[in-house]
């Protein structure tokens, strides 16, 4: 008998990571692997009960790094389609596929998105993979999921399209709310400091100003050196930033140290960047995550945090 372990609940859809045994012959649902919680949330809603979904990354995990497990490898091996976030995020997947196989089943959910480079001019050749952190880009992701599932199961295309349209409508409503919230923030208070350089798309889309990040990179694989931290502290003081935003998937220890040195403080409620929030948090859907982050930023900057 096949045994399955719960992995992610998003918008009422239960995703599972299953053991290596083959699915029951009677279960002819489309077997879908999604790499990240963001892609998994979209796939769970758009696919509904027509798919058997495995989400590789757990809630709260760092999306930049993932260690392949036998369970994950088995899910990839028996999948019909693999939905990756793309934009260079899942280098670990490309490495795993060389052994497991299945590269032909991978679909890139960043396809067609206007990708950006980090704000650091010295890293202009890099690609920022955090594109899902705007409503327009999240809508693009949902549509890419719809198209990938429809191509794999053409007979279900209408059902996938209906569910995708409902999700898009929620994201459009979220986008309007976010723009309203950001418009209420005075221009002088729109500077933002985060744990790592993850909010570039959000900042550019919604009219904020990036001041700096504790980890001066798109991930947190390498800690900043003392000179970089000193330079950031000086920038924070000069910019008059009084609040540093923490992130759910990043250790706040360095942010707390910088806050203590500069007289700023770490905003207690974390932003969700590399991962959606846990089930029931309100940030466990794409629109919920974006609204949560926008509200936290709004409240902190409006209050002069």
Tell me what pLDDT residue 277 has: 94
Whole-number pLDDT of residue 181: 98
- Model confidence over 8-17: pLDDT tens digits? 333 333 344 4
Lowest mean pLDDT among 87-96, 168-177, 244-253: 244-253
- Determine contact, residues 260/234, Cβ cutoff 8 Å: no
Higher pLDDT: 97 or 64? It is 97
Comparing 4-171 with 178-302, is the CATH topology the same?
Answer: yes
User: For a pLDDT cut of 70, what percent of the chain falls above it?
Assistant: 86
pLDDT in tens, 14-44: 344 433 334 444 468 999 999 999 999 999 9
Which of the pair, 303 or 164, is modelled with greater confidence? 164
DSSP 267-294: EEEEE-SSSPPPTTSS-SSHHHHHHHHH
Strands 191-196 and 209-215: parallel
Helices (H), 126-206: 135-152, 157-183, 200-206
Domain ranges of the chain: 4-171, 178-302
Domain 4-171 has CATH 3.30.2270.10: no
CA distance linking residue 301 with residue 252, whole number of Å? 19
172-216 pLDDT per residue, tens: 999 999 999 999 999 999 999 988 788 999 999 999 999 998 887
CA–CA gap between residue 101 and residue 184 (Å, rounded)? 50
In this prediction, residues 260-273 reach a mean pLDDT of: 88
The per-residue pLDDT for 31 is: 98
How far CA 247 is from CA of 72, 184, 195, 262, 305, in Å, comes to 26, 23, 6, 19, 16
Dihedral through CA 244, CA 247, CA 248, CA 249, nearest 10? Answer: -130
Q: Please name which of 3, 109, 105 lies closest in space to residue 46, comparing C-alpha atoms.
A: 109
Q: Which residue has the higher pLDDT, 120 or 198?
A: 198
Residue 282: Cβ within 10 Å count: 12
> Which range (32-36, 73-77, 86-90, 216-220) has the least confidence?
216-220
CA dist 240 → 1, 186, 235 (Å): 61, 14, 8
* Least confident residue range of 59-63, 204-208, 278-282, 296-300: 59-63
Percentage, residues of the chain above pLDDT 90: 60
Residue 259 and residue 268 in contact, taking contact as beta carbons nearer than 8 Å:
no
- Residue 188 · residue 305 · CB < 8 Å: no
DSSP 184-226: TS-GGG-EEEEEES--HHHHHHHT-EEEEEEE-SSSSSSPPPH
Q: How far is CA 262 from CA 96, 238, 265, in A?
A: 43, 10, 8
Model confidence at 2: pLDDT above 90 = no
* 158 burial level (CB within 10 Å; 0-12, 13-18, 19+): exposed
- Confidence at 58, pLDDT banded by 50, 70, 90: very high
If phi > 0 it is left, if psi is from -120 to 50 it is alpha, else beta; for residue 11 that is left
Residue 153 has pLDDT above 90, yes or no: yes
* Residues contacting residue 147 through CB under 8 Å, at least 6 positions apart: none
Instruction: Specify the DSSP class assigned to residue 68.
Output: -
Of the candidate CATH numbers 3.40.50.1980, 3.90.1300.10, 3.20.20.480, 2.40.160.20, the domain formed by 178-302 belongs to 3.40.50.1980
pLDDT in the model for residue 219 = 66
Stated as kind and residue range, the H or E segment containing 18 is: strand 13-18
What pLDDT was estimated at residue 254?
Answer: 81
Binning pLDDT at 50, 70 and 90, where does residue 299 land? very high
Question: Of the candidates 47, 12, 13, which has an alpha carbon nearest to the alpha carbon of residue 145?
Answer: 47
Q: What integer best gives the mean pLDDT of the chain?
A: 86
**pLDDT-based confidence at residue 124 (cuts at 50, 70, 90):** low
């Amino acid at each position: 008998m096949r045994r399955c372990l719960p992995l992610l609940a998003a918008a009422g859809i239960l995703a599972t990571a299953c053991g290596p045994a083959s699915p029951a012959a009677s279960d002819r649902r489309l077997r879908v692997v999604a790499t990240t919680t963001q892609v998994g949330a979209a796939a769970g809603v758009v696919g509904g009960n027509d798919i058997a979904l495995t989400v590789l990354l757990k809630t709260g995990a760092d999306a930049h790094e993932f260690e392949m497990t036998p369970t994950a490898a088995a899910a990839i091996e028996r999948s019909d389609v693999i939905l990756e976030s793309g934009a260079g995020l899942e280098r670990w997947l490309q490495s795993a596929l060389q052994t497991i196989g299945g590269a032909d089943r991978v679909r890139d959910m960043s396809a067609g998105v206007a990708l950006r480079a980090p704000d650091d001019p010295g890293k202009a050749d890099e690609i920022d993979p955090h594109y899902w952190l705007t409503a327009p880009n999240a809508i693009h992701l949902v549509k890419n999921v719809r198209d990938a599932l429809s191509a794999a199961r053409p007979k279900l295309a209408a059902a996938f399209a209906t569910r995708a349209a409902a999700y898009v409508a929620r994201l459009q409503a979220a986008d309007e709310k976010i723009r309203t919230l950001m418009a209420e923030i005075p221009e002088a208070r729109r500077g933002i400091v985060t744990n790592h350089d993850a909010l570039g798309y959000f900042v550019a889309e919604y009219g904020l100003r990036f001041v700096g990040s504790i980890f001066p990179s798109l991930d947190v694989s390498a800690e900043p050196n003392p000179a970089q931290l000193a330079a950031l502290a000086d920038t924070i003081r000069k910019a008059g930033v009084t609040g540093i935003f923490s992130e759910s998937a990043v250790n706040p220890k360095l942010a707390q140290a910088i806050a203590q040195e500069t007289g700023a403080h770490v905003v207690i409620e974390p932003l969700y960047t590399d991962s959606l929030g846990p089930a029931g948090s309100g940030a466990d859907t794409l629109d919920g995550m974006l609204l949560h982050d926008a509200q936290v930023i709004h409240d902190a900057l409006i209050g002069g945090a």
